[in-house]
Structure 1
């Protein structure tokens, strides 16, 4: 009997120790559990035609777009009849629609006539406006300041149909309102101001995500990541497009993990989804989080299994498709994949 009791005690102790080890393996180091890895749906997404590369006379116009980054849709009825996608490293965005599992590219709209492109990285929509944000202050290929970046563009559309108030023009800027005021918000930020206009390799500020909710614009930063924290800057949406109105800026640090930045933001019914990933080329998985828009913590929802995506592809678009009390279905698209390489996921809340 004594042997049996001792033996049982040791077995229980061993089991408890194993549980502790397993719990530690599933922890991020701050007590929270790593989100489960989920595989993409079997749905085969495809474009009806290629997303255009440049103006009609571009010799590369018949090649697939490889630099799509950021998309949003107007909540029309039927759904997805008016969406906008950013063409990274070009001076325009492109309207598109979603018909079943087919992405249908539509008209181009020119964002800027500046010599340098605005490096458009994120797209959002609220209350009759699409918003497109530029990314970083220093070019990947140059140490010179890029005054075209950090610019935010606003495009007015009909909130019922999603039709642009001004006919989209790919040749010249029409119906697009720019704002440079994000630059002052970044420069004056206590959290990331020291990284303003720093090169990307030195952790310079790099805006990748944008969302608009309750008349505030949220900017998700891919970099810097400091002490496991990524940052969201936010401002009053209307004030951003005035000269002197109070922007009411705020900065929120979020613990998303080591070397982890924000690759996109998207509004859902009870908050903002965050697509997180590496700040540059670190071995960091892509994951999805839910944030309420104000607190300093976000809820981890899922790690994305991207093993079937092209090796060089970078997840940079998170587009909600439908949601209910239990799940959120999203479309994920990629930079460095033909026409965005779309795949969909169903994520448990």
Structure 2
């Protein structure tokens, strides 16, 4: 594969995100931001940390200079998470569509990281231990209601103007995986793909080791794309396309996405050997934030998957590269910090131009503001 000439996207500014103090002894959300999505009017940001089971809401200040007024929303209250109270959901994707905030967990396993203070036996023990936590297999949606000041709030259910109801709901997290060595409780999505010829061998492999790992979501009118950090197959990143149907009390079930009755469709994209960290619709295209599958700092790049979000010509399952997947530019990354994890298009009120807003996991010291705040970057996107 011939790599295009590399260029760094121009950073045109930064904007502060002011969070409140964390609950209990936890770290501030700024330490582990994994995804972000902006409202259409640019006044609300929804964010998540991959170390919690909450979503975070920030509101643009009256001056339009920063986001604050932090509200923390526990997902257990809205979606009935099955894991322990202190168990994270490893949220890696957020989307706004159809009056809902959509939430996707990683659906991954996790290997424990050795600590500096561990002796040899303890370090080996931690590397042997692979965690399977039920909350990580979350895929659901929560309806949005308008609150005071016309700011979007989350609700259990919302009555629409047509008399219908939008209800909070999620895919089942109670499917036994007979194809897996560990017959553990996972999700309906895992059940659908665990015997797949491409995905099956990676369902027992932890995240950051090329295991199955959801990072990024795009919700269209009748289709949903899930970006995968892994597996990367022979240099090709993976996008999983699904559809959902609503059941009783807002519960969700996988629905067929093709004429053959299959409940998922596979797309493999040539991203220079990188995995997917975030997805975002952009007109008829889908923008991709890509980074290493393994636990490395970089490179980090933005790509455009052309016409992937088109309603008139849905993409068939297959392998995409060349003119279908355009390289747009590199993003900066740190040495052990500043890992770009989430992106959204942000058009601030009064501005005629939207910019790419990027948030980082493990922010560098010069990105932190006060006890709980952090700076997000704004980039100029070619062709926007």
Q: Report the TM-score, using the length of structure 1 for normalisation.
A: 0.76
Matched, 1:150 2:137: yes
Partner of 1:242: 252
Q: Which has the higher contact order (CA 8 A, sep 6+)?
A: 2
Cα offset, 1:216, TM superposition:
1.5
**2:191 match: secondary structure:** helix
Find 2:326's aligned residue among 299, 302, 305. Answer: 299
Larger Rg: 1
- Residues 72-118 of structure 1 show CA distances to partners (whole Å, capped at 9, x for unaligned) of 1332xxx1233311121111111122343412243211113421321
Shift of the 286–51 alpha-carbon distance from structure 1 to 2, 3 Å rule, reads farther
C-alpha distance in 2 between matches for 1:343 and 1:243: 37
Q: CA deviation at 1:235?
A: 0.7
Q: Measure, in 2, the Cα distance between the counterparts of 1:345 and 1:157.
A: 28
* Alignment pair present for 1:336 and 2:369: no
For 1:162, which of 140, 152, 162 is the aligned residue? 152
Q: Deviations over 1:257-282 (max 9, x none)?
A: 12x11010111112111000111234
Shift, 1:214, TM fit: 2.5
Q: Counterpart in 2 of 1:275?
A: 289
1:142-169 deviation per Cα after TM superposition (whole angstroms, max 9, x unaligned): 41432322221211014885332349xx
CA distance, structure 2, for counterparts of residue 264 and residue 232 of structure 1: 11
Unaligned runs of 5+ in 2: 113-128, 158-166, 172-186, 258-262, 309-314
**For residues 201 and 85 of structure 1, what CA distance do their matches in structure 2 show?**
22
Aligned to 2:16: 46
2:73: which partner in 1? 109
1:283 deviates by 6.1
CA displacement at 1:53 relative to structure 2: 2.8
Q: CA deviation at 1:189?
A: 3.5
Equivalent position SS for 1:194: helix
Q: How many residues align?
A: 298
Q: 2:117 — aligned with what? A: none
CA distance in 2 between partners of 1:107 and 1:206 (Å): 28
How far residue 310 of structure 1 moved from its aligned partner, in angstroms, is 6.9
> Is structure 2 residue 38 aligned with structure 1 residue 73?
yes
CA distance in 2: counterparts of 1:51 and 1:183, whole angstroms: 35
Alignment of 1:80-159 (within 5 A): 80-99=42-61, 100-112=64-76, 113=81, 114-115=83-84, 116-141=87-112, 142-158=129-145
Query: CA, structure 1 residues 60+239, in 2 after alignment: closer, same or farther (shift >3 Å)?
Result: closer
In the alignment, structure 1 segments of 5+ residues that lack a partner are: 1-28, 168-174
**CA RMSD, 1 decimal:** 2.8
Partner of 1:253: 268
Conserved 8 A contact 2:19-2:70: no
For 1:283 and 1:140, locate their aligned partners in 2 and report how far apart those are by CA, in whole Å: 18
Once the two structures are superposed, residues 24-69 of structure 1 have per-residue CA deviations (whole angstroms, 9 ceiling, x without a partner) of xxxxx34x6245222311x23112x325533xxx1457x5630111
* SS of structure 2 residue aligned to 1:200: coil
